[in-house]
């Protein structure tokens, strides 16, 4: 009986990990996962539309996990575009390479990033996005300050991350560190030399904000669009 229960619990944990792109059960919102598939709460089609990607764009997902976003991003930028799938976990890098081959995502390049540097080509990236990864990155202001050299002239950075106090029941399965205050993201991105250019209220449990580098005097710039 105990063995059966443990096996089932282990299997459930594995399935939950895979379905959210997280690598441990504590990062999973069981309520959301059990009540619908990820597309049901992540609304990828709405997110992709809001990101305003165009054919030929070069995008990077920092912390690509199991590659949930890759088919969506690959389709949005088309055969002339490039999607860089950045990961720091060697097992996930191998799994991403397998997924890219299996699903014939010809415009996706898997990159083994470093914790402080995504190892992207300088001046190339039109959009860098993170989803459920922002809170994993150490010293975020320095990380995104350094990322500025990787952005193209029109480069932007989008962050989707869980918000505190929202979402379905079972939130207590998450540790307190697995989300970000949206205002804290704005503050850290400002410190990194960006201003917010868009914020979308599309997702029930996640903030979704887009930033562009500030040219010139960061201190004198408005941190948020319309303010």
Report in angstroms how near the CB of residue 220 gets to ligand SAM at its nearest.
30
Q: How many residues lie near ligand SAM (CB under 6 A)?
A: 22
Q: For the CB of residue 122, give the shortest distance to ligand SAM in the complex, in Å.
A: 17
Instruction: Please identify which residue in 47, 58, 65, 211 interacts with ligand SAM, judged by CB under 6 A.
Output: 65
Contact 88, 64 (CB under 8 A): no
Q: Is 86 in the site for ligand SAM (CB under 6 A)?
A: yes
What residues numbered 2-41 form the site for ligand SAM, per CB under 6 A? 21-23, 27
Piece of 46-54, 87-95, 99-107, 166-174 that binds ligand SAM (CB under 6 A): 87-95
What minimum distance in Å lies between the beta carbon of 176 and ligand SAM?
Answer: 15
Only segment of 57-65, 70-78, 148-156, 218-226 that touches ligand SAM (CB under 6 A): 57-65
Closest distance of CB 89 from ligand SAM, Å: 4
**How many CB atoms are closer than 10 A to CB 220?**
7
SS (H, E, C) 69-125: CHHHHHHHHCCCCEEEEEECCHHHHHHHHHHHHHCCCCCEEEEECECCECCCCCCCE
**Span of 64-72, 77-85, 149-157, 203-211 interacting with ligand SAM by CB under 6 A:** 64-72
Distance set, CA 131 to CA 6, 163, 208, 217 (Å): 31, 12, 9, 29
Residue 88 or 100 with smaller CB distance to ligand SAM: 88
Site for ligand SAM contains 95 (CB under 6 A): no
**x/- string (CB under 6 A) for ligand SAM, residues 109-138?**
----x-x---------------xxx--xx-
- Pick the closer one to ligand SAM by CB: 49 or 119: 119
Q: Which residues of this chain interact with ligand SAM, rule CB under 6 A?
A: 21-23, 27, 62-65, 68-69, 86-89, 92, 113, 115, 131-133, 136-137
């Amino acid at each position: 009986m105990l063995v059966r229960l443990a096996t089932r619990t282990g299997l459930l944990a594995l399935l939950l990990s895979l379905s959210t792109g997280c690598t441990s059960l504590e990062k999973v919102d069981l309520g959301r996962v059990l009540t619908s598939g990820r597309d049901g709460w992540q609304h990828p089609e709405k997110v992709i539309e809001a990101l305003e990607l165009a054919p030929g764009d070069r995008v990077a997902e920092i912390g690509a996990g199991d590659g949930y976003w890759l088919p969506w991003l690959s389709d949005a930028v088309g055969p002339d575009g490039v999607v860089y799938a950045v990961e720091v976990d060697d097992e996930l890098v191998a799994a991403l390479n397998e997924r890219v081959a299996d699903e014939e995502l010809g415009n996706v390049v898997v990159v083994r990033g470093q914790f402080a540097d995504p190892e992207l080509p300088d001046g190339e990236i039109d959009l860098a996005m993170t989803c459920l990864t922002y809170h994993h990155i150490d010293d975020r202001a320095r990380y995104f300050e350094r990322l500025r050299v990787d952005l193209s002239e029109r480069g932007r950075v989008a962050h989707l991350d869980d918000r505190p106090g929202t979402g379905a029941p079972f939130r207590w399965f998450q540790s307190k560190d697995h989300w970000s205050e949206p205002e804290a993201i704005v503050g850290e991105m400002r410190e990194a030399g960006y201003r917010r250019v868009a914020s979308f209220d599309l997702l029930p449990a996640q903030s979704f904000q887009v930033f562009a580098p500030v040219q010139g005097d960061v201190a004198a710039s408005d941190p948020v669009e319309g303010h």
